Amino acid sequence: MATESAAMFDTDELVLNMGPQHPSTHGVLRLVLRLDGERVKDVDVVMGYVHRGIEKLCENRDWTQIILLTDRMDYVAAATNNLGYCETVEKLMEVEVPRRARYIRTILAELQRIASHCLWLGTHAMDIGAMTVFLYAFRERELILDLFEEYCGARLTYNAMRIGGLPLDIPSGWDDKARAFCDIMDSKVLEYEELLTNNRIWLERTRGIGVISGADAISLGLCGPPLRGSAVNRDVRKDEPYAAYDEFDFDIPIGTRGDTYDRYLIRLEEFRQSIRIIRQALDGLPEGPVMGKVPRLLKPKAGETYHAIESPKGELGYFIVSDGRATNPYRFRVRPPSFCNLQGLRPLVIGHLVADVVALIGTIDVVLGEVDR
């Protein structure tokens, strides 16, 4: 009798293809969901739709041309990509970067972090249905893009750094504009908080959703806010300072529960910490050149090096091998934070509902250009 009724109410799992064309997969991510009702039983994460072979391309370009290609990986945070690459080559070549250049690089990287987080906040909130936050966040991102445009002429792919320093000094008056932006951003973060932080629906949609323990996060290789959300104190800016981060005072926000809400709070706090760093860097901006002594023809001696920075999305590392003879790298490999964080999507999503899937894609903050490269 029991088997008979089981056969009568035969249940079947529904295979739902989400993406690559889907409004909430933040690019061309494809998820093959196996659903029981609306509950996710399993998910296959399929990627590679924007694979452009950037690593291979880089192996066939000379050292300066590569900077331009790194822009195209995490295209919403091009400046940090530039920074990571330039610092790696500088490490390989043992080039000294002038202090002023290091300061300006820090300012650019932190502005970039705010811009990237603005994009994250807007899309994440939009995925959960709060559409006004999206436009508010983009309004502020626009101000940062204006600052970048004034600095280097580009708004998205900046190509803003060079091996050994910076191509340009900041234009006169730029630092005042950056300060003014910091003041605006301070109040705008409060505005976002007002709309979301204590909003009952927001809490219900994010609290306890996508919980991951610190140990799991480490073993999955998560980095950036998803790792810190699980109470793991790891930030390359503090642990292995680069650029001028060792000269500034700032805190690394750490979560406690490892859920979507914690990751949201961490990124909001990072807005404030970034503003704090930018203010300190602008106040203490040293005089001097912005370009170090670098040979005309870059030809690092044979060797290999790995260097990581904290991009807005997590630990962005470059592994570069030079054979010492050619004017291009022998091997070029990127450790992209989005790719590593995407590993965490499957364990996060299983057991949740379809509505949570889009919230979880948002919370790990992936950029598919960087995942696929």
Partner 1 sequence: MLDTVFWPLVKIVVLLNAVMVSVTFMTLLERKVIAWAQSRLGPMRVGPYGVLQAFADPLKLMTKEDITPANADKVMFTLAPILSLVPAFVVFAVIPFGGDPLYYVADINVGLLFIISVTSIGVYGIILAGWASNSKYPLLAGLRASAQLISYEIAVTMTLVSVILTAGTLSMVEIVEAQQEAGIWFGFIQPVAFVLVLIGGLAETNRAPFDMPEAEQELTGGFHTEYSGMRFGLFFLAEYANMIVIAAVVVVLFWGGWLRPFPSVGALALLDYIPSWIWLFSKMFLVLYLFIWIRATLPRYRYDQLMRIGWKVLIPIAIANVVVTAVVKVLL
Residues near 37 by beta carbon (within 8 Å), at least 6 away in sequence: none
Q: Is the Cβ of residue 96 or residue 146 nearer to partner 1 in the bound state?
A: 146
Q: Quick one: 252 or 354, whose CB is closer to partner 1?
A: 354
Share in percent of the chain as helix, strand, coil (round to 5): 50, 15, 35
Q: What is the DSSP string of 165-202?
A: B-SSPPPTTHHHHHHHHHHHHHHHHHHHHHHHTT-HHH
Q: Minimum CB separation from partner 1 for residue 205, in Å?
A: 6
User: Encoding tokens for residue 308?
Assistant: 């990581």
Min separation Cβ 135 and partner 1, Å: 4
Instruction: Return the exposure string of 56-88: e unless at least 16 CB atoms fall within 10 Å of the residue's CB, then b.
Output: eebbebebeebbebbbbbbbbbbbbbbbbbbbb
Min dist CB 63 to partner 1, Å, is 42
| Smallest separation, CB 265 to partner 1 (Å) | 16
Q: What are the tokens at 282?
A: 């602008």
Q: Which residues bind partner 1 (CB under 8 A)?
A: 14, 16-17, 22-24, 37-38, 125-132, 135-136, 139, 195-196, 199, 201-202, 204-205, 353-358
CB of 41 to partner 1, least distance (A): 15
Give the nearest distance from C-beta 348 to partner 1 in angstroms: 16
What is the smallest separation between the CB atom of 107 and partner 1, expressed in angstroms?
27
User: From the CB of 184, what's the least distance to partner 1, in Å?
Assistant: 13
Backbone angles phi and psi of 87, in degrees to 5? -65, -35
Smallest gap from Cβ 194 to partner 1, in A, equals 10
- Chain centre to alpha carbon of residue 166: 22
Closer residue to partner 1 in complex, CB, 22/238:
22
**Residues ≥6 apart with Cβ < 8 Å to 15:** 32, 33, 34, 35
Q: Which secondary-structure segment (H or E) carries 303?
A: strand 303-311
Which lies closer to partner 1 via its Cβ, residue 278 or residue 364?
364
- Rounded distance between C-alpha atoms, residue 364 and residue 360, angstroms: 6
Select 87 or 356, whichever has its Cβ closest to partner 1.
356
Cβ atoms within 10 Å of 123's Cβ, excluding its own: 22
User: Can you read off the two tokens belonging to residue 311?
Assistant: 């991009």
Sheet order of strands, 303-311 included: 303-311, 314-322, 331-335
DSSP string, 247-272: GS-------SS-SHHHHHHHHHHHHH
3-class state of residue 301 by DSSP? coil
- Which of residues 200 and 296 has its CB atom nearest to partner 1 in the complex? 200
Kindly tell me which of 203 and 326 has the beta carbon lying closer to partner 1: 203
| Nearer to partner 1 among residue 78 and residue 119 (C-beta) | 119
Cβ distance to partner 1 smaller for residue 211 or 354: 354
